[in-house]
Amino acid sequence: MFIALIQLTVTCRTSKHIINDNIYVAEDTSTGKVPDSTILLDESKGKKLLKDCSGSKLQEKVDTFWTPNNKEYQNLEINMFRLNNKVKHLNDYIIQYIGIISKGTKYIYINAFDKRNLKDAIRVHGDLRLSPVIVCGGGGGYWRVLYDINLNQFKEVQFNAPK
């Protein structure tokens, strides 16, 4: 009973809470402007995360990986509305993210997949906190984007091919 009260107090003071170590769930996602489920991947998963089927050469441009801190993540979350012209209903997606440095610039790389595919993602990839979800095809249900943490801008939004 005491533990539940502590969790409630923490939840009321912050805009999100941590579930299973690195999964953050925002409390008010009714606007659809921010995702309500995000997973911070460990730096060691970076190379695997960037191996996608899009033909992107991003992996060749990455100098190193890093872990965004809470403030950097909050700035990302605040700016998610900027994606609304490209991605509708952000809270319909689960976001995996990792920090990358490319040509000296710090970015947060976002890998997103539709929540309707969650069971399949877990079946194929296992623990989503430990394994990047890489899917070929699937259209708008799967997308990636870079977020420049210094400019607070998104660039290179890529959706999967339909098949």
> Are the C-beta atoms of residues 130 and 121 closer than 8 Å to each other?
no
Full-model pTM: 0.75
Q: Which residues of 125-151 are buried (b: 16+ CB within 10 A; e: fewer)?
A: beebbebbbbbeebeebbbbbbbebee
Query: In this predicted model, what pLDDT tens digit does every residue of 99-143 receive, in sequence order?
Result: 999 999 999 999 999 999 888 888 888 888 888 898 888 888 889
Number of domains into which the chain is organized: 1
Domain with 23 in it: 2-159
Distances (CA, A) of 22 to 17, 25, 83, 129, 130: 10, 10, 23, 7, 10
